[in-house]
Amino acid sequence: RNLQALTTDYMQELTYQDRKRIHNLKYFTWIEQQGKDLEELDAQWYDYEKYWGGIHKQTSKIDKLIREFNAKTGLL
């Protein structure tokens, strides 16, 4: 709902180097803070279609989990 109201002045078209820089910053949150393994992080970059395609196919399930969470917490 809120994302749909954004205009392009809040967005930036990223170059390859910009995207790679952001991806490399994930190392600290994924590996060091969350304890995930490097193979999963690498899959996000090097096996993009398979990794993100699998995530995108789960949108209905993810939306359902979000609605259940919001209902339990009373946030929305």
pLDDT-based confidence at residue 46 (cuts at 50, 70, 90)? very high
Q: Nearest CA to 71 among 34, 55, 21, 63?
A: 63
Cα gap 39→6, rounded to integer Å: 34
The better pLDDT of the pair 2, 51 is held by: 51
Count of H-run helices and E-run strands, the chain: 4, 0
pTM check: above 0.75: no
Q: In what helix (H) or strand (E) does residue 42 lie, and over which residues does it extend?
A: helix 38-46
Predicted pLDDT of residue 8: 86
